[in-house]
Structure 1
């Protein structure tokens, strides 16, 4: 039985990792086996048009002598009416593009495996070779696409991407923890003021990162499609930074709490604030210190290079796109 030669062309980074775990795919109906080859290449770079991407995939198939080809991209796909797409396939040309962010932020590997198997099975079966699109629901699909883009950005990379800011925040927190004025302020704040301080500190740092790093995306033109794309990219950037800063905030809190339990004496604090202080009050003190240290550390983010900030905020696909736009602007 002759096997079907299948090519998977994947954008660099996460899509390539996912694609390389799909080489063992096989049909579920016992038909011809699949011989799968993976190529890592930014095949969507330089074009936001899905038809162009499908054409490039077909060129790959001709050069590599593949029977059919599937592209995995971090690019959000849209139809001509502006609706978000999961899949654009052209079985007549034996090519399909799968938007990984449209799979959502959870179990992406499992969902990608299921989607690619379905695409290959449909294109390999002559009786089902009809062109089709898989459209996401407008509201729920938008959130699903956004969560997938945030996952592709890997917000946890913001922590090593802001080394200088974290060092500045830790230094600020260490000094503030042993300051009697900070003790007085922390003891006088109600829980809702502490919540507001937390939200405000994280929001300020996120705003500073966006402004200082010039992370805000602007539409290529005045078309509704371009504006919608920019809104989507900007939303993913903001959510990515918020998640990354929440991780940083939690890390600061844990470190400052350990520092407070190590160096502070409840009796000393009690005499300073003229009120009894227990170990539970150190959690409140650390909460306030973490908010103040977050703002102080945010200033240190200016010491980081733009590349470090953008690497933490953008997926590889978005970095390629923004670099292309920057080069076009310079010309």
Structure 2
């Protein structure tokens, strides 16, 4: 195997090790496009071979760079790699700042924390972040530009003290409020709240059963016609929050600080869980609203409805009825959600996933 003037092999073997689920999916997409992107960025002088592996990373959020290497290295193949990169959905922070990447040039190993990349265009950002860290591993920053260097995708460099004869390992952070918002959005994205809708099958049954009764109930027709927009909005907000709170409490998704979980991290996990569950419930709400609008238009002929409303029903009346019935049906969904399998719902809670990882160490 030939070598470049810098001592690297002309055939470079990149190993991507990823957490299960979303990180593995992203790793496979990155592996497909990475060789071409690296040739564009770093030139055509190297041939790139990319392999992917799945292995859960079980490590504390605030672990330092040396402990990170200890956690990542056992997951890499014993031979046959030149650069190792781990993709994790575990949020990592330095104080309150989101850590997006940790890079050890001497060991040619890096760790990317996907939540710090945000919740949108994640595949593209992950690809660019992997290209960035590979560039940093092959061409470490000099001592002059290590003080305040910044890489657009992975953020600002934070240096650490190094042992004599070694290049100091680096962390890259997304500082300030923008970085915290990106971390929050990335964690919600990793929870994939839209999948919660499909897993709440029993809650869905309770919602539809409650709504079906309301469609044929003339009292519901009159109430929906009597309520103004702000009352309807208030009922909607309260019903969505009530179902979200019921799911969180019934399935014990709320994290309490103590032991492995400090107060700041418990607050972060609980915020992400609340947003995730609420978004999942909103998906359920939107689907039910569309279905009830169609059912109401099909079943409720204008004649009987006009007799109760004292005017010929319009499109607005059907939409208002569907709005009112959807909000009321959320209460029925709360009782159905109590019948769901805990393991299914807990996939939407960050703390439970990390607790399972630490239990397997």
The match for 1:14 is 22
The match for 1:289 is 325
Native 8 Å contact 1:10 1:16 kept in 2: yes
Matched, 1:103 2:141: no
TM-superposed CA distance for 1:130, in Å, is 5.0
Distance change in 2, residues 1:23/1:272 (3 Å): closer
The match for 1:280 is 316
Question: For residues 120 and 356 of structure 2, what CA distance do their matches in structure 1 show?
Answer: 29
Matched, 1:92 2:130: no
Distance change in 2, residues 1:271/1:12 (3 Å): same
TM-superposed CA distance for 1:187, in Å, is 1.1
The match for 1:55 is 70
Q: How does 1:28-177 map to 2 (within 5 A)?
A: 28-30=41-43, 31-42=45-56, 44-48=57-61, 49-51=63-65, 52-61=67-76, 63-79=78-94, 81-125=95-139, 130-177=168-215
TM-superposed CA distance for 1:119, in Å, is 0.6
Q: Deviations 1:30-78 (Å, cap 9, x if unpaired)?
A: 2433322211100x22543253232232344572342221110001111
Q: Deviations 1:211-249 (Å, cap 9, x if unpaired)?
A: 001001122349xx8222111111111111111111100
Secondary structure class of the residue paired with 1:197: helix
Question: For residues 77 and 330 of structure 2, what CA distance do their matches in structure 1 show?
Answer: 54
| Unaligned 5+ runs, structure 2 | 3-9, 143-166
The match for 2:265 is 229
TM-superposed CA distance for 1:23, in Å, is 2.3
- Further displaced range: 199-208 or 128-137: 128-137
Native 8 Å contact 1:58 1:94 kept in 2: no
Distance change in 2, residues 1:280/1:50 (3 Å): same
2:287 to 225, 228, 251: 251
Native 8 Å contact 1:61 1:67 kept in 2: no
Larger RCO (CA within 8 A; separation ≥ 6): 1
Question: For residues 173 and 140 of structure 2, what CA distance do their matches in structure 1 show?
Answer: 23
TM-superposed CA distance for 1:276, in Å, is 4.2
Secondary structure class of the residue paired with 1:64: coil
Distance change in 2, residues 1:238/1:100 (3 Å): same
TM-score, with length taken from structure 2? 0.83
Q: How does 1:313-328 map to 2 (within 5 A)?
A: 313-314=348-349, 318-323=351-356
- Further displaced range: 279-288 or 15-24: 15-24
TM-superposed CA distance for 1:275, in Å, is 4.1
Question: For residues 261 and 326 of structure 1, what CA distance do their matches in structure 2 show?
Answer: 53
Secondary structure class of the residue paired with 1:71: strand
| Unaligned 5+ runs, structure 1 | none
Distance change in 2, residues 1:290/1:241 (3 Å): same
Q: Deviations 1:263-290 (Å, cap 9, x if unpaired)?
A: 1122212222334432321110111000
The match for 2:154 is none
Aligned residue pair count: 321
RMSD: 2.2
TM-superposed CA distance for 1:103, in Å, is 0.5
| Higher share of residues assigned helix | 1
TM-score, with length taken from structure 1? 0.90
TM-superposed CA distance for 1:320, in Å, is 3.5
